[in-house]
Structure 1
Amino acid sequence: MQRSYSPSVRRRRLSAQLRRYREQRKLTAAKAGAALGWPQQKISKIESGEQKRLPAAELDKLLDLYEVSGEVEREALHECARLAKERGWWSKYKSAFPGGLPDFEAEASAIRTYEAQVVPGLLQTPDYAAEVFRAYRLLPEGEIAKLVEARMARQGILNKVDPPDFVAVIDEAALLRKVGSAEVMRTQLRHLKHMASRHNVDLHVLPFAAGAHAATSGSFTLMEFPDPLDASLAYVDTPTSTLYLEEEEEVREFASMMSRTQSDALSPIRSLSLIDKIIESSIEE
C-alpha cells in the first residue's frame, strides 16, 4: 500500500528545522534575509510555512548560510521540500476539507478526540454522515454525496497497515440524539461497536452521570506525530473556520482536558454495554 504523505506536515517540519538552524547561528530573520539579498518577510514566510513551495536552489542558499554541511541532513531536507509540494488524495475534496485536516491525520501516530454533539467523523456511517450534512445547511443532494464520499475516504487512515492509535470520547448525548431514522441510528451504533473491536481504536462514552466535566467548552481533536520534529497539534472546528493550535502551552491545556474527560468517561467495556442498551431501547420503541 502506498503511504499517504502529508504536504502540510512536511512543510511544517521543514519550516521548523530551518528556523532552528537560523537560531543556532544566532541570526535574526532580518539578518538572514539581508545576507541572501531577500526581504525579511520572505524568511518569515518560509519559517511559518506560509510559502508553500521552496525551490531547491533557495533551500541550498539557506543551508549554505546556516553552514549545514552534512550530505544526509541536506538530502533529507530536500526530500522534505519535494514532498511538501505534492498534492494529497484529499485535494480533490478541497471543499469538504477547507482546513486541510487530512493533511495532518495522514501522518499522525495518535489521534484523540472528544465529540459532544455527534459521532466523530472517522467513525460515521455513510447514511449517518449524510444526515449530519443535511442538518448543517440546505445543500443539493449531489454536493451531500460528494461530502459523504470525502468523509468515507478520510476514514481510510484507520485501515492502513500501520494505522494511528485512535481514542474517541463521545458524549452520551451524541448517542441518544436520533440523526435520521431509527434504523440509521441503530446501524451507526452497531458500527461503533465494530470499530471499537479494532486494536487501534479505543471508544469511551462520557455518561450524563459524569455531570460537569473538563471539556464542557466543546469538541476538539489532538494529534501526535512519530517524528520528534513534528510538534503535537490541537484542532478545533467552528462553523466559519478551523483552528490549529500548536503552541506548547495551548496543546498542553487541551491534552489535560482530554485526559480528565477520558477519566470521567466509561471504560471501553462499559461503553459498549451502554451502547448495547441504547440499541435495545431503540428497538423496543
Structure 2
Amino acid sequence: MHEPHSPTLRFRRLAAQLKQGRERSELTVSQAGKALGWTSSKISKLETGQTRRIVTSDLDKMMDLYKIEDPAKRQAMHALAKDAKKRGWWSSYKEVFGDQALPDFEAEASVIRSFEGLVIPGLLQTPNYAEALFQGGRYTDANDIAHRVEARMARREILTRFNPVHLRVVMDEAALRRMIGTSSIMGEQLKHLLHMAKMPHIDVQVLPFAEGSHAALVAPFSILEFPEQMDLPIVHVGTVTDSVFFEQPKDVARYSATFGDIQGTALSTTQSARFIADVLTSLESD
C-alpha cells in the first residue's frame, strides 16, 4: 500500500506558512530578501512553490527572521520540508502522468468529484478494461500498455486504503454503452462498477441520454478537495498531451457549480445502480 503523502502539497503548505510568517513580521519580499542576503526572486519562488526544495539552513534563517520560535512549530515546518523532498510512487511513471502528476494530489485528497463523458473513470476501471482502452489509442507497444495499466491500477489504492478518499462520480450513459474490448471485458467492468458503487465512500450517478443537453457537455474533469484548510481545492482536466490544473478560486467555483448542476440532473445513486444493472443484463443477453 502506498503512503498517503503528497510532496507537492507538503511544500505548498510550508510555503504558505513561510509567507504568513513574513507578512506577520511586516516585511515585504524585497525586505526579507535583503535581510537574508538573497534576491527577492528567491523568496518569491519559495512562497509561490516555483522552487520545490529548501535546504535546512535556509529554512532556519527564514524562521529566525520571521521570529518563528516555537520548537514544535519549527519541527513541524522542517518535517514538511523533508516530506517535500520524498519521491512519490508515481515518479516511476513520469512518462504516463507528466510533470504535474495527478496521483501527487490524489494521495492526500479527502473528496474527489469527477465527471466522465465517454469512458469509465480511471479510478473505477478494471485492468482488462484499461488495457483494451489503451489498445485503442496510439500506445500500441505491449510493454508500454502494460506500464500504463500498472500505473492506473496503482492509483486505485486511494479507494481501498485506511480512511479512503470519498469519490463522487457522475458519468454519461455513453461511458456504459461504449464497447471497450470484448463483451466479456465490458461485463467484468460493469460488475466491478456495481461492486464499487456499493461502497459507503463511493457515489456513482449516471446521466442518461434521455436528459438531452446538460451542463457538462465538456471535457471530463475532477475536483479534488483536501482535509487541510490551507490546501485549497484544485481542478484537474486531462488532455491528449498532458494534465491541466486550475487552482484559482473563481475557476474552481465554476467547475463546482457545473458539477452541482449535473449531479442534480443525473439519476440518484440507487437509480443509477439499477440503470447499470440493466445495461449489464442487456449486454449479457446479446
Fold-level similarity (TM above 0.5): yes
- Residue 249 of structure 1 corresponds to which residue in structure 2? 250
Whether 1:33 and 2:33 are equivalent positions in the alignment is yes
- Residue 197 of structure 2 corresponds to which residue in structure 1? 196
Whether 1:101 and 2:102 are equivalent positions in the alignment is yes
1:63-102 map, 5 Å: 63-98=63-98, 99-102=100-103
1:1-285 map, 5 Å: 3-98=3-98, 99-285=100-286
- Rounded to whole Å, the distance in 1 between the matches of 2:196 and 2:229 is 29
- Rounded to whole Å, the distance in 2 between the matches of 1:254 and 1:27 is 36
**TM-fit CA distance, 1:148:** 0.4
**TM-fit CA distance, 1:191:** 0.6
Q: Kindly provide the amino acid, as one letter, of the partner of residue 238 in structure 1.
A: T
**TM-fit CA distance, 1:20:** 2.1
- Rounded to whole Å, the distance in 2 between the matches of 1:119 and 1:2 is 23
- Rounded to whole Å, the distance in 2 between the matches of 1:44 and 1:90 is 28
- Rounded to whole Å, the distance in 2 between the matches of 1:172 and 1:20 is 47
Q: Kindly provide the amino acid, as one letter, of the partner of residue 85 in structure 2.
A: K
Q: Kindly provide the amino acid, as one letter, of the partner of residue 86 in structure 1.
A: K
| Structure 2 length-normalised TM | 0.96
- Rounded to whole Å, the distance in 1 between the matches of 2:2 and 2:189 is 29
- Rounded to whole Å, the distance in 2 between the matches of 1:123 and 1:239 is 20
- Rounded to whole Å, the distance in 1 between the matches of 2:27 and 2:140 is 52
1:199–1:157 distance in 2 versus 1, CA, 3 Å? same
Q: Kindly provide the amino acid, as one letter, of the partner of residue 232 in structure 1.
A: P
Q: Kindly provide the amino acid, as one letter, of the partner of residue 140 in structure 1.
A: D
**TM-fit CA distance, 1:3:** 3.5
**TM-fit CA distance, 1:84:** 0.5
The DSSP-based 3-state class of the residue aligned with 1:252 is helix
Aligned residues: 285
- Rounded to whole Å, the distance in 1 between the matches of 2:2 and 2:108 is 13
Note the alpha carbon deviations across 1:173-208, whole angstroms, 9 max, x for none: 111011111111111111100101111101001111
| Structure 1 length-normalised TM | 0.96
Structure 1 residues not aligned, in runs of 5+: none
**TM-fit CA distance, 1:30:** 2.1
1:60–1:159 distance in 2 versus 1, CA, 3 Å? same
Which deviates further from its counterpart, 36-45 or 74-83?
Answer: 36-45
Note the alpha carbon deviations across 1:153-184, whole angstroms, 9 max, x for none: 11011110110111111111111011111111
- Rounded to whole Å, the distance in 2 between the matches of 1:243 and 1:2 is 24
**TM-fit CA distance, 1:2:** 6.8
- Rounded to whole Å, the distance in 1 between the matches of 2:182 and 2:282 is 14
Is contact 2:139–2:145 with CA below 8 Å preserved after alignment? no
Is contact 1:115–1:169 with CA below 8 Å preserved after alignment? yes
Is contact 1:4–1:88 with CA below 8 Å preserved after alignment? no
- Rounded to whole Å, the distance in 1 between the matches of 2:194 and 2:169 is 12
- Rounded to whole Å, the distance in 1 between the matches of 2:103 and 2:163 is 16
- Rounded to whole Å, the distance in 1 between the matches of 2:217 and 2:15 is 34
Structure 2 residues not aligned, in runs of 5+: none
Is contact 2:2–2:157 with CA below 8 Å preserved after alignment? no
- Rounded to whole Å, the distance in 1 between the matches of 2:206 and 2:88 is 33
Is contact 1:6–1:107 with CA below 8 Å preserved after alignment? yes
> 4+ residue stretches of structure 1 with deviation over 4 A?
none
Instruction: State the percentage of identical aligned residues.
Output: 44
The DSSP-based 3-state class of the residue aligned with 1:113 is strand
The DSSP-based 3-state class of the residue aligned with 1:161 is coil
